[in-house]
Chain A
Amino acid sequence: MKFFGQRKNRVTGLAFLFFAIGLPIRAQAHLVTTGLGPVYDGMEHMLLSPEQWIMIAGLALLAGLNGPSTGRAVLFSFPVAWLAGGWAGHFIQQPLPALMPAMTLLIVGGLVAADLKVLRNVVPVIATVLGSFQGYLNGVSFGAANGITLVLLGTAIVAFVIVALGAGLVVGVQGWRRIAVRVAGSWMAAIGILLAGWMIRKP
């Protein structure tokens, strides 16, 4: 019974992740004020930015596939790097190449699809680099938003929750469920490749 409950929860969680990934919402680069305060502005920004959702969900899957210890390391290193990168972006205000989000999707999705065991010790490093990068992008895009620290904190909280849920759902999965996760990774990589094409395409 307990096993059935865990399995049901995992399936439900994965279904929720796929639904979230598939939400037909346009990526909003700039911060939208909700009126609820800067922390909620940051949270709302994350929820309306599928390119960030997908990348973080992919990283969570990657962390979960590589075991509980890797998942725990990513759970804390990623949001901290995110915050640090956000601060750096806010102060430096130097935009990065537009292709970078597509490349991160391709890398994370490819790693999930490959499911290489040798990556176990490298995943927290990858998470730190990607967290810094994604946080930097947010810091740059927020510009002169009010309460930038709290806005970034809101985004980092959402990142933490996504990593916790995603990694927790897939940690230790085997059999067809592990294959399903790897298939999801291949889809992320495919989305990254297509997105790169859209960005390079001449109007």
Chain B
Amino acid sequence: MVIVGMLLLVSSAEAHVQHGGAVGFTTGFCHPWSGWDHILAMVAVGVWGVQLGRPAIWLLPVTFPVIMSIGGFLGLVGCPLPGTEIGIGLSALLLGSMVAAEARPPLWLAVIMVGIFGLYHGHAHGTELPPNEDGLSYSIGFVIATGCLHGVGITLGLVHHWKAGAVALRIAGTVIALAGVIFTWRAIG
């Protein structure tokens, strides 16, 4: 319900800072919260992890930040990754679909899927960050915020233990997938 409520506030998918300086921890912490495409994808990872149960409940949220940081590294050093925005849009679409369908693919497949999407999200962040004089504080804030978003997803996913909660999660997954369609459409257009 919270996700649905938040989605009603959607304006445009502006995930990345467009100008200004990355000024350390606060900027790094706020960055992952700055775009609905990122927020929904990361929350969906946490929710999906809960649906899949152990060990996915912690393995997926661990995979995403680590691979995302690799994507961020590639973006920071200028290594191109084609179709980044499309990949981000597809991440919300597919991860939302997984939640909506309560899909249970093999664990390795779920990890690879989350990892690939994490790479795209990280690359987008890394590419668009302005030069920063304090990369360490920024990185700390960025990683902690990403973990918090997964934590939000896991916390929301706990309602999965109730029948009505499981239905609500599937509805939320559908909404995320629909938002992913919009993000992808905009990225293609």
Q: Which residues of A from 168 to 203 have beta carbons under 8 Å from B?
A: 179, 182-183, 186-187, 189-191, 193-203
B80 → A minimal CB distance (Å): 14
* CB-CB under 8 A for A187 and B72, given A198-B132, A199-B135: no
A-B contact pairs, 18 of them (CB 8 A): A24-B24, A24-B141, A26-B24, A26-B134, A50-B136, A183-B147, A186-B62, A190-B69, A191-B140, A191-B143, A193-B72, A194-B69, A194-B73, A194-B139, A197-B72, A197-B77, A198-B136, A201-B135
A54 to B140, CA, bound (A): 10
In the complex, what's the smallest C-beta–C-beta distance from A90 to chain B, in angstroms? 24
Question: Which of B25, B74, B77, B146 has a CB less than 8 Å from the CB of A24?
Answer: B25
Q: How far is the CB of B132 from chain A (nearest CB, A)?
A: 7
Q: Which of A183, A193, A199 contacts B62 (CB 8 A)?
A: A183
* CB-CB contacts below 8 Å: B55-73 with A: 58, 61-62, 65-66, 68-70, 72-73
Partner of A22 from B62, B132, B144 at Cβ < 8 Å: B144
| B positions within 8 Å CB-CB of A | 24-26, 58, 61-62, 65-66, 68-70, 72-78, 126, 131-132, 134-144, 146-147
**Total A-B residue pairs with C-beta atoms closer than 8 Å?**
98
Distance (whole angstroms) from the CB of B72 to the closest CB of chain A: 5
